[in-house]
Each structure stands twice: as C-alpha cells, then as structure tokens.
Structure 1
Amino acid sequence: MKRLVLAGAGHAHLHVLRTLGAARWPGVEVVLVTPYPRQIYSGMVPGWIAGHYRLEDCVAPVLPLAAAAGVRVVQDVVCAVDAARGHVTLAKGGRINFDVLSLDTGAGLAMDEGLSDHPGLLPVRPLEPFVARWEQALATLLDDAQARVAVIGGGAAGVELALAVAYRLRRETGAAVQRVTLACGGGLLPGHAPGVVKRARAALARQGVELVEQRVRAGTSALETAAGTPLAAAWVIAATGVAPPGWLAQSGLALAPDGFLAVGKGQQSVSHPNVFAAGDVASRIDAPHAKSGVYAVRAGPVLSGNLRRALAGRPIEAYRPQRRSLYLLATGPQEAIVSWGPLAASGSLAWRWKDWIDRRFMRQYQSSGEE
C-alpha cells in the first residue's frame, strides 16, 4: 500500500478529491492535511463582502468531499517537509510518511515590518480567520460612522476588496462618505493594460475610495505614508504580495529564484520526482506565470493525473500553462472589469459572466460534498 499525502486543500487538491470520489485509486492510501473543514474560494470573497453572496455560496465543504473520496483527513498544518526522508511534520506534533507528496498549501503574506502590530490588522491570508475578523470589523464600522478602512495593496485583490468594502458601507448606511483608502505604493494593477487601470480608477472614484499611490508604513501612533502623512484607519486589510512559507527553505526541495517550490512540466518538483505542487506555493520555472487562482484551477486535472501516474511508476504528462489568463475584477456593485492581455471592458455583463464562472466552479464541489 502506497501513501499519498495531500498538504493543503487548495483549488488543485479539491479537484484531486473530486477525482478520487469518482473512482478510488487501488493500492493507495490518501491522507489530506488541512487546518480547516472547508475551503473558502477567494474569487467570491469580494462579492460576499459587498453583500451579493452568502458565505456558504463561497465555500467548498472539504470533509464531505474527502469522505466521499475515501481520504483520511488530518486537521492540522504542515510546518516542515523532509524530502530526503519522505515525511512531513505537523504543527500539533507528529509526522506522516509519504511515498508521494503533493503541496497545495498556498502562500504567506509579504508584509512590511510594523504593520503586523496594528490592532485592526486584517491579513487576507489565510482566508478563514480573515472572514471571521471581517464580520467583527463590519459590525464596528456600522456602529461608528467615523471609522475608516485602509486596504494595502494595489493588485487585483486589493482593488476588489477596497471597492467591495466601500460599496457595502455605502449600501448599509446610505451615506456617501469617504471611508476607505486604497494604498498602492507599487502602482495600481501592475501588469494590467492601461484600459483596465483606467476603468479601475473610475470605479474607485465612483465608490468614493481614496487612492494613495505611496507605500504605507506603521508610524509612531498610526499608519502613515512614506512621505510621513498620517493615514487614519481603524481597520487595515493587508492584500499585499505573496511570500513563500518559511519551512520551504529547510525542506531540501529545489526552490525557484522567488523562494517558492520549483516545479517543471506536470507540476513535478525539479529535484524530487515524488513531490508535486500547485497553486501559490509553487513556481513553474519552465513557464513562469502570475500567482493566480486561475492557474491553480487549471493545474488541478493534470496534477490529479500525474499523482496517479507517479504512484504507479508511470511517466508523467507535461502541462504547459496558458500564456495569459482572464481576470474579471468585481467593482462593488454587480459590475466587473474584464482584463485579457491588452483588452479591457467593464459593466454588468462582465459581472454576470464572472458570477456564472464562479458559481459553476463552486457547484461541482458543493454538490459532490452533498452526495
């Protein structure tokens, strides 16, 4: 009996669970290590904050999926990997040996030193505590009409969250008062076409979001810009860039220049053929691409197939990610911005497109978990 360990319940591993639920792999024991009994889909979180979704609409129930797949679940976090000896170490203690290991744990948050001390900090990673803290924050924001929110990070996540928060506060209170600041020292939507950035600026202006295109740091008593201007914020949503998990550096696995696990064709480690990875924890060194949920979703089927091939001692199949990905950025109300290479569009039809894609993606795991 061979053992496959799935570390993390990210998008790609959800597909592995669904595949196993359809047909078990003979002679293979599968163990899933994940800290939470559900997986919150990040692509729908801005819509949930804006009030368009119930939280259960955005959740894949991991435990029922694993049960249907015959997978043993260990509710814990992998805090170390010993690739040479073939085992993972768990945060609560103990080790699990593996014949084949697949990592889909996500990434950490790259955050400036000092911001972590802010009493109202809301890091977007991991999503489970972020969601719980946001519900607390929203209650206080509705009680105090003067309280403000700062969103740090000018990428897609930061823009969507700033717009969602501003829209929700305006909808709940009926007051068109500026209460949200988006700070993006690295620029607004870097890597996106000028037309997309222009539409994002217009959306931010419509929702009354203050745009501060400077780096933000922790000052002596509050947040401040790099120029020293105070930035009032009772709550700070950190949607900054990703950082590799600290334990990767001691894993013995080859790393990419960005510090994430280096994988090649078929999502296989370039140094250890019995280790695979997908999602933000990995970087394709042969075909670099942005760390986006789109790529993690697309990697799911090939990862599932290659894990089974590796367990059976068969050659893996190559997979080359698409050169560019479609982004549909929610803008607060039921509207969205389309970003596809040099092309840009926006409006309610874009939201309906995004909503259809997101609900279809989640339905395949929600219905599987109920069967």
Structure 2
Amino acid sequence: MSVKQAEVVLIGINGYGESYLRSLLERTDAILIGVVEIAAEKSSFFDVLKERTIPIFKTVEAFYENHSADLAIISTPIHLHTKQAIYAMEQGSHVLCEKPLTGDPTDLPLWKETSEKTGKWAAIGFNWSFTESIQSLKQDIMAGVFGKAIQLKTLVLWPRTEDYFNRSSWAGKKHSPQGVMIMDSIANNATAHFLHNMFYMLGDQIETSAAVKNVEAQLYRVNDIETFDTCLVKMQTETGTELLFNASHAVEESEGPIFEYEFEKGTIYFNSEDEQPTMLAKFKDGTTKDYGNPHIPHIDKLNWCLKAVHDDKAQPPCDYSTAAVHVQVLGVLNNQLDQVIEFPKETSLYNEETKLHYVQNVQQVLTDSYQKGTIPVQPF
C-alpha cells in the first residue's frame, strides 16, 4: 500500500531551511510543491529546484494565490513567524514552524485563535520534543516512575564568533526595521531547545509544558548585540519545582548541553560531551534505565508532522501551546534588557584568528553555579 504524499510548501530555504529542503527532495511521503524565498539563488539547491520545475515565490501570499498545501514549513527569521504561520493556517495548511514561536508574547492569543478557527495545528520545531528518547522519558515521568520533580538544571556553553552575530540583519536584535519584536538572544535561539525541554518534561500531558511562576535572571553580554549572550536563570514552576538554566556564547571552549533532572525517586543525567551520550536515569533503589540520546542529527519533527497531516491520532507533541511557556519566560527576560550587564573590558578577551569575544572566567562561574544548583549573588 503506497503512502499518500503530503503536499508541502517550504518557506525559507537558506540557513536552517536547507536541512528541510535536502530531506524533502529525497522523500517519498511528501512532495515539495513550492518554496518561498527572497534570495533563492543563494541556495546550493537552486539548480535542483529549477531542474525539477519546483516553483519559487518571493512571498507567502504569492504562493497561496494559485496553490494550496497540506503542510507549510516555516524556517524564516523570528519576526516573520507569526505573520507567515497565521496566513498559512488561514489558507488551509497545517504548520511546522521553527523555534522560537515568536519574540512577542502578545502574539500567543492569535496563534490559538487561528488554530482553533481553522482546525489546523501549528507544530513548533523544538527538536528534542519529537524524539523517541524524550517521548519515552516523558511518558515515565507522567506515569509517576520518578515521583515528584525537585530540581531540573541545564548548562550550555557554546562559543559564537563575530561571524555568527553578523550572519544576518536580525541576529542579536530586539526589533525588526518595521518594529516587530525579534528578541534574538542565546536563550531565544541557539540554546532555546534545552531551556524549553525543562518546561516540556514537566508538562502533565504529552503536548503540554509546565507553567512557570517565578523567573530570576542575571543577563550579560560581551558581544556587540542588543540583547544578551550569557544568562543565569532561576525559575520555579507553579507546582514548586526549581529550574536552573545557565548558558553562554562568551566562552572559549564548547561544552554541553548537560543536564541533571532530579526527582524524589531518581535523577536523569545527560552530557552531550560523553563518548556515547545518553540520558541515563539512576534510581535511589540502585536500578538504572537508559533512555537514549536526543541530541543527534534528526528530522523527527518533519517525520511526525508529515504523518500527522493524514493521521489525526499522530498530532504533533509540541505545538504553539506547548511552546508558549518558553515565549512567556523569554518575555520576562526581555523586559530586563535594560539591566543587561556589559562584561568589563579588563576581563574580556578577543581571538583575532577566530573573531571570538570571550570572558575568561565565564565557563568556570557558570559551571560552578550549575554544579551547586544555585545562582551566585555577584558572579562577575
């Protein structure tokens, strides 16, 4: 029995969108019926698109003038997500939108209203949420295997050079030229997957995230950006679980993601730096359980969404409502951007060969904070 092909439009084919494009050109369960890209000629697949006569459009509206699609994949800059996703749903398409959902918390009601009105779902591409390993772990957490959650903490130290912050006109910016909120920061972009995952693992259903009531943060930057490249964030869920998220681009060496999720009956450990990374649960009764590695190259979110197009029982586990907690927490952080601390010049270093700005003691301070499970009062 042949698999019914889902008709897909890919909005944004450069940057991360290229990974979607590469997969869609090879699949048998989907047919790429159009792409939307203002600079399609920059794509390494431009000639392939021409050869296969896949139409290229400059705008989402131009595509939908004479076409329809089962699924619209949105891999464009943050400030375009809401407008493009809402329009695609209104035109009859389900949506797979890259993270973050939006930089503006006031957009959230519009996503909900449009999805309910059109009957179309909008999945948000937080990679880990769609993996078999994370799904298996969450099922056990929901079933009470681990008991009550005590503290979840995460550490991500990822160096980013000047080229990273200069890669686009919106990188590190608060707003677009039109005034739409971008709020591109380390917590809203590169390491957003791992911040979101703590909320997601504590959701009481597969498609929900735990609500957060308290957010305390220390925000820093060494790079010439409008937001922040280093953060220490302490949060609390509405049910009393403490969360800690330490992340920085202002480091010389890459480390993480690393996490430790502590529950009353056991703790789950993960370190992507291990030779064979895996989420290992160690229970207080001495037993262990290996849940596998969620941090691997995968296209699970696309697989899930293509199946869900034709199967109502395969609804995506992470949609706009699941991702809303991340947007809300970032809203709190972004309200504190006037309090971002510039790292002192005397502690800031620059590697001219790699064009990397970093601060010598950031790695140690954030690691110590992570290991102790608390934020120091004046770390720098």
Do they fold alike, i.e. is TM over 0.5? Answer: no
Could you tell me the TM-score, scaled by structure 1's length? 0.31
Normalising by structure 2, what TM-score?
A: 0.31
